[in-house]
Chain A
């Protein structure tokens, strides 16, 4: 029985660099190992990743596996699935955990299926009950939680959502580094260049106050309702994904995992229910205010202040009060 943490690296503009979420997953792996009294190891896949492996070698780990192959230079689901599968078989790991990144979402279900298993994706917490692992994940875009248990035999697979574990709790130590060379065939998919769309004209990360709008605004013609609030506060206007998908505000104003990650002094979420993809992009804000008609909306889980009500009545009233307060 052992735990294996599969770390993620990516070479975007320069040499391979860590995906920061990997450290949170490593922290969770160490904690889990402690509670289950099992050894924990970590692995990194790619080509030319020795410097990254060196960073892992001074952590409290049983082993560090460097999975090197020229076909792992650029990520593909075929090669990564084959490589991790061979590594899991080589190490005999019983619990294999990953950061819940876009890359992991692309290949983990394939890997689990190839081994006749089901991965538990997007895990926000775990606990041990009667020596068994219980994973917590969200349902209905964060409105409800569910406890999930593994049935059948290991290996068990799970991916951990950002923000669930703290990277600054990682324990130092010394771990032997082992190079593992998988047997790989070329991928059927051909990865091409990484790119960003036209330069962002709006840098939301520089804003002190952000007013952000979600589905509750109902239609594009209602955007001025929240624009007035932003104007009254001298704030930048931002949005959750569906608003940008519908073209009601430009994509560059999107906050969340696929948009910008912000941490302003104040973040006012108007008509945003608070799916995890949005929360990861704003929950570091100093003061969070939520206005939503649904008292059970997950946005209230992270809000410091909230008003449960109809935004079309609350927001204009708020604009008036802010103007009064500012004199």
Chain B
């Protein structure tokens, strides 16, 4: 089975985010970056499917030069090769534009299965995978918690609200968006890290793919800190003092202790 896993590099989870003076985006110069978490689970699912059924795992990533690090890590975990769509300003693309980039790089690969994380931790549209399926003309299912390969088809477990699930079957090729927690992530081994150095990373550009930025159909106009819906009483000072103040409020004001 030939599997392409789409991954994105995003600011590390515990980043202290500050809005850029322009208000258009965050100050991203001094941030550290990591693989988008649901994409890490998608990669792991791809690797496990390959181990069970044979084939190849190709990693596809659109992003600036710094994304090369995240791509190397995916190769170190066991992906066979990678395609890096070098694009310094992904912000100029709306989700449809970004998916068009990925689709242009993906189509010639003719994969049996395309995996993405269900959403990104930065923009969080949760749309790229589904848009990609539509552009490639593939059947899809989202928020997947289990993948079983059958003869020429797959059976997946879709997560729904309130603890419900649904099984869905579809023919291959197909696209799935993977939910965090579907599997247990592996760490790269020392051997894996060594091997990754010799694995193929093909660099392509948006222009080279014939998918330069088009006129976006949505525009982000201003980024800002959300307003608080409640007036939070914050207690500070040494932990013991803060805890004592909190307990007093909980006992005499909220009356919950």
Q: A residues touching B (Cβ–Cβ < 8 Å)?
A: 12, 77-78, 101-103, 105-110, 112-114, 116-122, 134, 137-152, 187-197, 200, 209, 215, 233, 241-242, 244-247, 257-261, 265-266, 286-290, 294-296, 298, 300-310, 313-314, 316-318, 320-322, 324-326
List, sorted by A's number, 30 A–B pairs whose CB atoms are closer than 8 Å.
A102-B142, A105-B126, A105-B143, A106-B130, A106-B142, A108-B127, A118-B217, A139-B223, A140-B17, A140-B122, A141-B124, A144-B17, A144-B225, A144-B226, A150-B217, A150-B219, A152-B215, A194-B164, A196-B163, A196-B165, A246-B181, A260-B163, A301-B229, A304-B254, A306-B232, A307-B242, A314-B242, A314-B243, A320-B240, A325-B251
B181 / chain A contacts, CB cutoff of 8 Å = 241-242, 244-246
Residue among A108, A140, A246 with most chain B CB within 10 A? A140
Q: What total of A-B pairs shows CB separation below 8 Å?
A: 267
Per-residue interface assignment for chain B, residues 132 to 174, with 1 indicating a CB less than 8 Å from any chain A CB and 0 otherwise: 0111000111110000000000010011111111111111000
Contact (Cβ within 8 A) B217 A305: no
The reply to whether the CB of B233 lies closer than 8 angstroms to some CB of chain A is yes
Residue among B235, B239, B251 with most chain A CB within 10 A? B239
Contact (Cβ within 8 A) A301 B242: no
Contact (Cβ within 8 A) A188 B216: no
Among candidates B14, B19, B167, residue contacting A192 with C-beta atoms closer than 8 Å: B167
Contact (Cβ within 8 A) A322 B257: yes
- 7 other contacts beyond A109-B125, A141-B121, with CB at 8 A cut-off? A102-B159, A108-B130, A145-B225, A296-B225, A298-B226, A305-B234, A314-B239
Contact (Cβ within 8 A) A307 B165: no
Among candidates A120, A140, A306, residue contacting B233 with C-beta atoms closer than 8 Å: A306
Closest CB of chain B to A216's CB: distance in Å? 9
A306 / chain B contacts, CB cutoff of 8 Å = 232-235
Contact (Cβ within 8 A) B236 A307: yes
Closest CB of chain B to A208's CB: distance in Å? 8
The reply to whether the CB of B180 lies closer than 8 angstroms to some CB of chain A is yes
Closest CB of chain B to A242's CB: distance in Å? 7
The reply to whether the CB of B198 lies closer than 8 angstroms to some CB of chain A is no
Alpha-carbon separation in the docked complex, A309 to B234 (Å): 11
Contact (Cβ within 8 A) A302 B142: no
Among candidates A116, A146, A261, A290, residue contacting B220 with C-beta atoms closer than 8 Å: A146
Alpha-carbon separation in the docked complex, A295 to B255 (Å): 25
The reply to whether the CB of B199 lies closer than 8 angstroms to some CB of chain A is no
The reply to whether the CB of B123 lies closer than 8 angstroms to some CB of chain A is yes
> Known contacts A118-B94, A118-B96, A148-B218: does B254 contact A305 (CB below 8 Å)?
yes
Among candidates A118, A241, A296, A300, residue contacting B218 with C-beta atoms closer than 8 Å: A118
A197 / chain B contacts, CB cutoff of 8 Å = 163, 165
Closest CB of chain B to A296's CB: distance in Å? 7
> Known contacts A145-B226, A151-B218, A241-B181: does B134 contact A102 (CB below 8 Å)?
no
Interface of A is mostly: mixed
> Known contacts A118-B96, A144-B17, A325-B247: does B161 contact A257 (CB below 8 Å)?
yes
Alpha-carbon separation in the docked complex, A314 to B19 (Å): 29
Contact (Cβ within 8 A) A149 B243: no
B224 / chain A contacts, CB cutoff of 8 Å = 144-147
Among candidates B158, B160, B227, B247, residue contacting A318 with C-beta atoms closer than 8 Å: B247
List B162-203 residues whose CB lies under 8 Å from chain A. Answer: 162-171, 180-181, 184
Contact (Cβ within 8 A) B142 A289: no
Among candidates A148, A192, A258, A294, residue contacting B221 with C-beta atoms closer than 8 Å: A148
> Known contacts A118-B96, A300-B232, A302-B229: does B221 contact A134 (CB below 8 Å)?
yes
Residue among A187, A190, A298 with most chain B CB within 10 A? A190
B221 / chain A contacts, CB cutoff of 8 Å = 134, 146-149
A105 / chain B contacts, CB cutoff of 8 Å = 126, 130, 142-143
Among candidates B230, B248, B249, residue contacting A301 with C-beta atoms closer than 8 Å: B230
Among candidates B130, B133, B171, B250, residue contacting A289 with C-beta atoms closer than 8 Å: B250
Contact (Cβ within 8 A) B166 A194: yes
Contact (Cβ within 8 A) A305 B142: no
Contact (Cβ within 8 A) A301 B226: yes
Residue among B143, B165, B233, B242 with most chain A CB within 10 A? B242
Alpha-carbon separation in the docked complex, A308 to B224 (Å): 21
A196 / chain B contacts, CB cutoff of 8 Å = 163-165
